[in-house]
Amino acid sequence: MGLDESGRECGVAIVRATIKPGSKKGPLVEILDDGALQLYVRAPAVEGKANRAAIELLAAHYGVPKSAVRLTGGATSRFKRFEIDD
């Protein structure tokens, strides 16, 4: 935890997720038994489209702006790590 510019406590959540691009089931977020998320997105895994869709889905799921969600690992993998600012 750190402090923002006004001195208020703020935090960053690390979220592990598996992405299912091109899914007819999505957009949907499922919580797995180990606490990781399974993200179903309709966008294909082409030119970062699925990653962008996953960021939008996580932002909506957590109720934060898209700018608060960052992909920090797994850009070309199904297994991803995101940071979400509160």
Q: What is the pLDDT of residues 5-35, one digit of tens each?
A: 544 446 788 999 999 999 999 899 999 999 9
Segment 45-75, tens digit of pLDDT: 999 999 999 999 999 999 999 999 999 999 9
Structure confidence at residue 86 as a pLDDT band (50, 70, 90): confident
Return left, alpha or beta for 27; rule: phi > 0 is left, psi -120 to 50 is alpha, else beta. Answer: beta
Strand partners, 14: 83
53 compared with 4, residue with greater pLDDT:
53
